[in-house]
Amino acid sequence: MRAVVTGAAGFIGSTLVDRLLHEGHQVVAIDNLSTGLLANLDQARRTYRLNRRFTFVQNDILAPELSDIVAGCAPDVIFHLAAQVNLRASITDPQFDARNNVLGTINVLEAARKGDVKRIVYAASGGSRYGAPEQLPVHEAVRTDPISPYAVAKLAGEMYMRAYAEMYGLSQICLALANVYGPRQNPHGEAGVITVFGRALLTGDRATIYGDGSASRDYVYVDDVVDAFMRAGSAPHGTVGTYNIGTGSQVTVLEVHQLIAAALGSPASPTHIAAKSGELHAIALDTTKAHQDLGWSPRVDLVDGVGRTIEWLHGALAPELAELVGA
């Protein structure tokens, strides 16, 4: 299989690239490196570049030449993960968010159309598309209710996927992702509470919780998410639509902090500050449809996933931790 991966230097995208290459596929990885890290692709570049199964292209999904890049490699599938994912940024600059998440997605779809690509798999937002549903876990047939610019833009991407499918016969699968976590997630950012909390506790800081900590999320490990992308990429042409990818379980932010603190043997209690506007209080996703149609189910539970993530953080933060010891 020949695959194009956008957002390939992000933590999910790079993990997908590694899985594709490990299974013998050919990959063209596209990323503008605005938030993704080239270091996330070190293994791919070191191991597979010489045999030409891996190519990295530093470019933006908004670039006019994207169609030429796609046409040049004639992929069987495009995995579209490139996105603006910062909720706060979408509120302060909704035009920037829309340029990336709406116009960027349209440009990817145009490249697929012009390059006669038959399958595209899109990273949708399961954590925001349903708004505040009355019953959890929520299934795909529940009415969508986006309540932030980010949520609106990501849902618009799904709708464009469906429109291109109707107009041009593109076989599209939208994976509505819950809160993804795991190795390579940015421990310095706003999103990714598990790596953010882990870094804080490892470096001797107190983690910050917005609100009282009762907000709950559905946390799904990155390897399980990549498995969903792999299954979607190789699904029969007639398998299309939106699929929830999560665990179906709600875990509060305070419970996540307690789990990480226990894993590290840290007695530190979190600092609580005012809750953010625009954030959902609770979400969990029903993944029955993904299990039935894609044969997908999550395999890594939260305790195991947190343990793997903390182990990675020890290595990723080694220089920072060494400086703290030296100080």
Q: Residues with catalytic annotation?
A: 150
Alpha-carbon span 8 to 16, nearest angstrom: 8
Alpha-carbon span 28 to 135, nearest angstrom: 41
Cβ-based neighbours of 304, under 8 Å, separated by 6 or more? 221
Which backbone phi and psi does 284 adopt, to 5 degrees? -155, 145
Q: What is the DSSP letter of 150?
A: H
The single residue listed with the structure tokens 């506007």 is: 277
Q: What is the DSSP letter of 99?
A: I
The single residue listed with the structure tokens 């993904």 is: 290
Q: Is 207 helix (H, G, I), strand (E, B) or coil?
A: coil
> Residue 162 corresponds to which amino acid?
R
Q: How many CA atoms lie within 13 A of 218 on its CB side?
A: 24
Q: Which of 113, 88, 114, 123 is nearest to 10 (CA)?
A: 123
- CA-angle at 93, arms to 67 and 179, nearest 5°: 75
